[in-house]
Amino acid sequence: MNTPAKAGQRQGSALFHGLVVAALALFILLPFAQSLIMSFTSTMPRDGIPEGSYSFINFISIAVTPDLRESVLNSTFYVLLNVTLCLVAGLPAAYAYSRYSFTGDRHVFFLLLVFRLTPPVVLSLPIFILFSKFGLVNSPVGIALVHCLFNVPIAIWVLESFISAVPRELDETAFLDGYSLPGFFFRHLIPVIAPGIGVTAFFCFIFSWVEVVFARILTVTAGKPITMAMNALLGIRPDFGLVAAMNIIALLPGLGMIYFVRNHLARGFVIRT
Amino acid sequence: MKPHDNRAWLLLLPAMTIMLLVGVVPLVSVFNYSFHDIFTLQDLHWLGLDWYREIVRSERFHGSLARSTLFSALVLSIQLPLGIAIALMLTHAPRWRTPVLMLLALPLVVPWNMIPIMWLNLISKQGLLGQAFLAMDAPIDARFNTLHTWIVLLAMDTWHWLGLVVILSFAGLSGIPQDYYRAAAVDGASRIAVFRHIQLPKISSVLSIAILLRFVDSFMIYTEAFRINAGGPHRATTFLTLDLGEEINSFTYGAAAARSMVYFLLVITVAWSFRTIMDRRKGALEGINT
């Protein structure tokens, strides 16, 4: 059935796909290219380095500035804590939604959606007052907690889809074999839905690492994450080269996450609603 | 059919505890503040619905609401068709799947306060895009030209969020069993018919999540829009959240709380009516199938 007409058509569509991908790549990569160029450009008058020349000075500045170094650690810490919290709280809840119906389940699900949709600006003031009572201001722990507002609903939603793809017989045989619920979770369920845990961690990461409204209001004097360290650099006459270099460093964990889940994204995951 | 068991609530306890602390308690506090005039938190004066009346009647609010609605409408009408089209293309081009999805996920991991900085650098007179437009004798002016500011905001938002729409649409499409396509091929259905009667209905639930997320995040856009032009020129890009930001910065917390509640109610009303419509359509479809 390989007629010349069909082969020609296939070639035509391959060419079309190539063109679309090239246009997309240009659109997406252009701002990144700009940042990359700027991060290697000295954008401030300095002794020995002419303004506008290529240099590593921005990356060296980051390495020797304690505030900037510390912000990388703060960000890493709060994101890891947030992803852990979301998985620990989300997994049992997702299991409950996948396997049982219970009084008020639909209402609670809508409530979770409501909190995912609540704009952070709306809650920023009372969150600040509440968290300062518990001593959670100026600490990455506070940021990790407050980001659960939008990430726990996401975790429950993504994990529920993955758990529902697992046949109920897995649960039943494990329980017949005498496993308790936690034992079943760790020995059977988690290994089977490992890709789902990866995808969940990816979504929690992309919404937490980049968030700025809560991160700003909760870190007044200390515990600043990368985003706020960069905000502090945007003064009257900002050193855009340094900001761009910091931005490049802030991108690295994200690139790692994307690489980590690439096959799961491409294989597609069934989402049920 | 799932068994009914109220002990499932126990499994929800950890999640509910966290949501109570970071969601319910703060929301109730905002609700309470919104009825008060606040000098300090120890010095509250009951005002009733005064703040609400003032906001709902102000022309400023009407203007911002109109601009935010227009922005969301434009964002959705650009990003949804484009995102679905790219996801459809990926189903026909297996070898591009991984590279394109990785590419489109890149902007999702950029800190939100850096996105406007990246774009401002790109369109500045020294930037790659700024120079290109200057060479074509059509310089970009995102400071004093309303149309240019809007175009930059829309391009930036599309750059930022297109990946999410594509990832979700593609996830929905790849969940469709091959049998459906085979049956369609036997019937000799056209590509458009396959899209209209198989693909679109099958991804509608995942799309509804994408629509809701994109609606809320564009309707409540703050960090990105503020950095580009601080709501200008002449308030032409002053969206709802920029008004709220001004109020919080001037320490009128009671008014800010009332405004927050108004926005919250707007978002929830849209989400709720959207869900009701989707449920009704789903119910109607199931009615046909059985």
Summary mean pLDDT of chain B: 85
- At A1 the pLDDT is 47
What is the mean pLDDT of the segment spanning B120-143?
Answer: 83
Residue B101 has a pLDDT of 93
> Nearest residue of A to residue B273 by CA position?
A110
> Which residue does chain A place closest to B205, by CA atoms?
A273
For A213-266, how does the pLDDT look when each residue is reduced to its tens digit (9 = 90+)?
A: 888 888 888 888 888 888 888 877 788 888 899 899 999 999 998 998 888 877
* Tens digits of residue pLDDT in A84-93: 999 999 999 9
Helices (H), B34-145: 50-57, 59-92, 97-105, 114-123, 128-135
pLDDT at A147 over 80: yes
Q: Which chain B residue has the Cα nearest residue A122? A: B260
Per-residue pLDDT of B265-279, as tens digits, reads 998 898 888 888 877
Cross-chain Cβ contact A226/B111 below 8 Å? yes
Mean pLDDT along residues A152-173: 88
Which pLDDT score is estimated for B286? Answer: 61
Q: Residue B20: which H helix or E strand, with range?
A: none
Res B103: pLDDT:
94
Tell me how far CA of residue A38 lies from CA of A59, A236, B142, in angstroms.
11, 19, 21
Lowest-confidence region among A46-50, A153-157, A168-172, B81-85 = A46-50
Mark which residues 79-138 of A lie under 8 Å from B by CB: 85, 88-90, 92-93, 95-96, 99-103, 105, 108, 110-119, 121-127, 129-130
**pLDDT given at position A3:** 60
Q: Cβ of B102 and A100 within 8 Å?
A: no
pLDDT band (50, 70, 90) for residue A272:
low
Mean of per-residue pLDDT scores for chain A: 86
Alpha helices in chain A (DSSP H): 4-39, 57-64, 66-99, 105-117, 120-133, 140-146, 148-164, 169-176, 181-184, 190-192, 194-208, 213-218, 226-233, 240-267
Q: Which of A213, A214, A199, A230 is nearest to A83 (CA)?
A: A199
> In chain B, pLDDT over 90 holds for what percent of residues?
25
Please give the domain boundaries of chain B with CATH numbers for all domains: 66-238 (1.10.3720.10)
pLDDT of residue A234: 82
The CA distance from A108 to the nearest CA of chain B, in Å, is 9
**ipTM of the predicted structure?**
0.87
pLDDT value, residue A11: 80
For residue A212, give the nearest of B21, B111, B220 by CB distance: B111
Contact B111 A247 (CB under 8 A): yes
Please check the confidence at residue A202 and state whether its pLDDT lies above 50.
Answer: yes
B108 vs A206: CB contact, 8 Å cut-off? yes
Residue B44 has pLDDT above 80, yes or no: no
Please determine, for residue A57, whether its predicted confidence score (pLDDT) is greater than 80. yes
Task: Tell me the percentage of chain B whose pLDDT exceeds 70.
Answer: 97
The CA–CA distances, whole Å, from A29 to A23, A101, A271, B112, B119 equal 10, 46, 29, 17, 12
The pLDDT assigned to B153 comes to 92
Tokens describing residue A154 = 């996401």
The whole-angstrom separation of Cα A40 and Cα B131 is 19
Decide which of B206 and A27 is more confident.
A27
- Does residue B139 contact residue A258 with C-beta atoms inside 8 Å? no
Go through the domains of chain A in sequence order and give each one's CATH number.
Answer: 66-267 (1.10.3720.10)
- Mean pLDDT computed over B58-79: 91
Given an 8 Å threshold on Cβ–Cβ distance, is A247 in contact with B92?
A: no
* Pairwise CB contact (< 8 Å): B96 & A146: no
Taking CB atoms and an 8 Å limit, are A34 and B244 in contact across chains?
A: no
A chain contacts of residue B260, beta-carbon cutoff 8 Å: 121-123
pLDDT at B290: 40
Does any CB of chain B come closer than 8 Å to the CB of residue A11?
Answer: no
* Residue in chain A nearest B86 by alpha carbon: A20
What separation in angstroms does the CA of A150 have from each of A37, A130, B266?
34, 18, 18
A77 or A45, which is more confident? A77
**DSSP 8-state class, residue A46:** B
pLDDT tens digits, residue range B74-125? 999 999 999 999 999 998 888 899 999 999 999 999 998 889 999 988 988 8
Residue B287 has pLDDT above 60, yes or no: no
Among the residue ranges A44-48, A174-178, B1-5, B242-246, the one predicted with the least confidence is A44-48
B19's CB contacts (< 8 A; 6+ apart) are A111, A112, A115, A148, A149, A152
> How many other C-beta atoms can be found within 10 angstroms of the C-beta atom of residue A150?
22
